[in-house]
Each structure stands twice: as C-alpha cells, then as structure tokens.
Amino acid sequence: MQNTIQSAKMFYILVAIVSVSSLYFVVPSVIVAEETPRTFLTHTGLSIQTTGDVIDPIGYDGKALDFDPDKFMKEFDYGEVTVLDDGTVLREFYITSRDDQIMEVSPGVFYNVWTFNDSVPGPTIRATEGDLVRIHFTNEGSKPHSLHFHGIHKAEMDGVFENVGTGGTYTYEFYADPVGLHLYHCHVHPVEEHISHGLYGAYIVDPKEAREPAEEFVFILNGLDTDFDGENNFYAANTIPFYYQHHPIQINVNQNIRAYVVNILEFDAVNNFHLHGTLFHHYPAGNDMLTMSQGDRQILEFNYKYPGLYMFHAHNTEFSEKGWVSTFLVKENANDFDTEVEYDDII
C-alpha cells in the first residue's frame, strides 16, 4: 500500500515536471527569462539577432549621420596649406569630436557613434615628410577626448596625458615623420570605450619623392559592438558590414592599386587582410607596433628625438587597461636621472 502511494506521488510529480517543461514549447517567453532577441536585416539580406540596446530609429528624434564608404576610402584631408618663411609647408587641420550622434551602420541598426568631424572613421590626415602639421582640436562631446597620433613627436603632443574637456580646445603640432601609414585615435580612459565608439582615423606621411602613381584606397578595419557586451556584433572595412561585397570596388586589369590598411578593431586581439586572386607587394608603414604570439622574440632598437614622458603598452586595449602599460621618461641630460620618480610629479 505504502509503495502504491509513493508510486502515485512520483507519477504526479513526473506529470507536473513534464507539463511545466512542455510550456517552453507553447509559450517560450514565459520560461526564458533573458531578453528576447530582435532581428535586423543586413546588407546581405541575412538576419542578425541581438538582445542589446539597439536604438530605435523611430524613437530617436535626431538625424542619423550619413556615411559613404566609397567616398571615405578615396578622401584625403591635406589640410589648409601655407608656406612658412623658411620654406616649410604648414598644413592646418580642424578636428572636432562629438559623442552624441547616431549612425545607421546596417539597415535598421542604429549605433551611438563618437566621431571626429562627424565621421567614423575620422578624416584621413595626409602630409608629406617634413611638413609641419598643426591640428586645431575642439571637443564638443560630453566626455573628455584627445587626439593621440602615432609617429614621432614631442611628449606634450602625444594626446595621452592632456585630456580635452567638454568645450575645450588643444592645438597639436608636429613634423610629419616618419614616412609611412600611421593612425590617430582618442587616448582618454577607458580607451576601449572611446575607440570602440569610433574615435580613430588614418594618418599618412608621404615620402618627399612621390610614390608611383596608383589608385589609392583607405581601409580602416573596425568593428561595432552594438549591444555593448564587449564583443563585436559586426566587422567591417570602413564601418559598414558587407558594404564592399554589395558595392564592389571597380578597378581595371593592370591598374596599380595602393591600399592603406589600418586595423583599429577593439575587443578582438587579431584581424586579417586577405586578398584573393593576386598577391600584393608589402611596404613597411613605420614601425611602432609588434604583434607577437607566446614564445615569439624580437630585438628592437630605437631612440627618442624629444624629451618627455612616453607610454609603451599593448595596443590591445584590454591588456593595456588591465596592466600592460609602461612609460619611458626621456631626459635631456643622461646624467640627470632621479633614482625615484613620483607618479604625481610627472603627470
């Protein structure tokens, strides 16, 4: 008798479990506590799902930024040119940062972009070796921002320790040096946030003797974390996913193409550029980066042109902001080393 009652109990418990579980198939939203993914169409016509904070274009009353990857990849900002008394070419650029704008990065997907000159990426700055580059920077954003240029320049032009607050301005000035392809980006903490929202661009220094004529394109390899979970939802060359798949870049047979490729991807440690159907010649673009896997070794030699405090760190922002960040304090007089430098003294 006891056994029969127990078996009946077990049976009813089993029925109850099965009944509740089967609700999953009838009304899954009741059972699944997490947010329901929303579906968006990409340029391919494929659907992408995200549970994140995608800004509703109907609810947003501002105007979405226009961005044309075809125009961007061929657009070079040479600045306003004047020739100084000593013959030096001065190039002046005007760059404004903002962090309140919206861009439709894929049909139906609106993203809060942080911009240099209303664009992600920012303008491609271009000068010739030895030119004096002067950048009038204005921060119209709600957060502090800066311009950190790669290349050779004085410590106070590095945009690392001099954050520019809301409404603030800063004039960066340096000689275009060395020849190659560099980049610039905001270096305000948390750098990951400022870069992943779009505050970066390319900086080209041409050799005095011009390179061979070629059709030139800029490709900034980037990603978009549209649901703010620290992982990219979209990857692209020049911001818009799949864009050049659906808008092939038209070139001729035997036409010489020169691609300026910059990887500024956040959250992922590595990115690639792989070309089909032909091979490319590869030119060093100015060495200030090494990407290494565990066990790799490299010997580097360098010196500094100007005194000051300079960072060296992983350009994987996560590593940098979790501790792999260091500095050189470069002095005028090699005999004048302090045995101990207080952090507050040098910032």
Number of residues in contact with Cu ion under rule CB under 5 A? 5
Site for Cu ion in 87-146 (CB under 5 A): 145
Residue-wise DSSP of 165-193: -TT-EEEEEEE--SSEEEEEE--PSSHHH
* Contact of 83 with 90, CB cutoff 8 Å: yes
185 binds Cu ion (CB under 5 A): no
7/63 Cα distance (integer angstroms) = 67
Q: What one-character DSSP code corresponds to residue 347?
A: -
Give min distance, CB of 258 to Cu ion, in A. 30
Around Cβ 319, how many Cβ atoms within 10 Å? 13
Of 137, 194, 234, 285, the one binding Cu ion by CB under 5 A: 194
Nearer to Cu ion, 199 or 204 (CB): 199
Give min distance, CB of 199 to Cu ion, in A. 5
Nearer to Cu ion, 188 or 202 (CB): 188
Of 105, 113, 186, 262, the one binding Cu ion by CB under 5 A: 186
Nearer to Cu ion, 65 or 188 (CB): 188
Give min distance, CB of 63 to Cu ion, in A. 22
Q: Virtual CA dihedral for 135, 140, 144, 147, nearest 10 degrees?
A: -20
Region binding Cu ion by CB under 5 A among candidate stretches 76-84, 158-166, 195-203, 249-257? 195-203
Give min distance, CB of 160 to Cu ion, in A. 12
Give min distance, CB of 180 to Cu ion, in A. 24
Give min distance, CB of 95 to Cu ion, in A. 12
Nearer to Cu ion, 199 or 224 (CB): 199
Nearer to Cu ion, 145 or 315 (CB): 145
Q: What one-character DSSP code corresponds to residue 85?
A: T
197/64 Cα distance (integer angstroms) = 15
Give min distance, CB of 166 to Cu ion, in A. 11
188 binds Cu ion (CB under 5 A): yes
Q: Using CB atoms within 10 Å of the CB of residue 334, give its burial: 0 to 12 exposed, 13 to 18 middle, 19+ buried.
A: exposed
Q: How far is CA 258 from CA 45, 54, 66, 183, 203, in A?
A: 31, 36, 26, 17, 15
Give the type of residue at 50.
Answer: T
Give the type of residue at 274.
Answer: H
Nearest to 140 by CA among 117, 113, 112: 117
Give min distance, CB of 140 to Cu ion, in A. 12
147 binds Cu ion (CB under 5 A): no
Give the type of residue at 331.
Answer: K
Give min distance, CB of 159 to Cu ion, in A. 10
Nearer to Cu ion, 99 or 177 (CB): 99
343/303 Cα distance (integer angstroms) = 23
Nearer to Cu ion, 127 or 147 (CB): 147
Region binding Cu ion by CB under 5 A among candidate stretches 48-56, 165-173, 193-201, 327-335? 193-201
Region binding Cu ion by CB under 5 A among candidate stretches 66-74, 127-135, 191-199, 307-315? 191-199
Nearer to Cu ion, 91 or 194 (CB): 194
Q: How far is CA 265 from CA 134, 198, 239, 284, 336, in A?
A: 27, 10, 10, 20, 40
Please give the distance of CA 262 from its chain centroid, rounded to a whole number.
Answer: 9
Binding footprint of Cu ion on the chain (CB under 5 A): 145, 186, 188, 194, 199
